[in-house]
Amino acid sequence: MIRIGLTGGIASGKSTVATWLKEMGFPLIDADQIARDVVRPGEEGLVRLVARFGRGVLHADGSLDRGKLGRLVFADQEKRKELNALLHPLIRRRMRETLDALQAQGLPVVFLDIPLLFESGLEDWTDRSIVVYVPQPIQLKRLMERNQLGEEEAMARIRAQMPLAEKRKMATAVIDNSGPQVQTHEQLRDLLKSWDLI
């Protein structure tokens, strides 16, 4: 089974590419979805977060208030490290279980949608990698518009990740998403064809 890592940065368009891959019928393990799953009420991840950061990160109904947690950790590198230390082992375990199950089915290829592929050292899990790239000014503009953030808060979130310019050097292939979506989609199809996947 060929394991292909898909990564990018916040507001780079990686999720759009992931959606296209799913629509084309490729199996895809979504690290962000798993990250959401492990912090649902009753899950070990949420218990860990409350134990460390307090009940202030919860909504009244006991579910995680992602906005409050985000403001807390994006402004403080040490708290972000603590958050990752709490949740990453749970996320990795669930991803590995899903990957093993897909491999047992004998599937020829699987995509692993992992925003922090290189930061987390998970490129060892993959045979190839794709980075969805945009220049930082476009990334900043899209993030501010999408999340209704001021420039300072948006830049803090961008700086919390490895720069896309660095990721593109480490990836097997790059999809440039700075133009119209139709061009991005064409790049994806061309890449998949070159790898004999479609």
Name the binding residues: 11-16
Q: In the chain, where do the E strands start and end?
A: 2-7, 28-30, 109-113, 128-133, 173-176
CB 90 within 8 A of CB 47: no
Task: Please state the residue numbers annotated as binding site for ATP.
Answer: 11-16
* Type and span of the H or E element at 20: helix 14-23
* DSSP classification of residue 148: T
Return the exposure string of 161-177: e unless at least 16 CB atoms fall within 10 Å of the residue's CB, then b. beebeebbeebebbbeb
Instruction: Tell me the C-alpha distance between 134 and 112, whole Å.
Output: 20
By CB atoms closer than 10 A (0-12, 13-18, 19+), residue 82 is middle
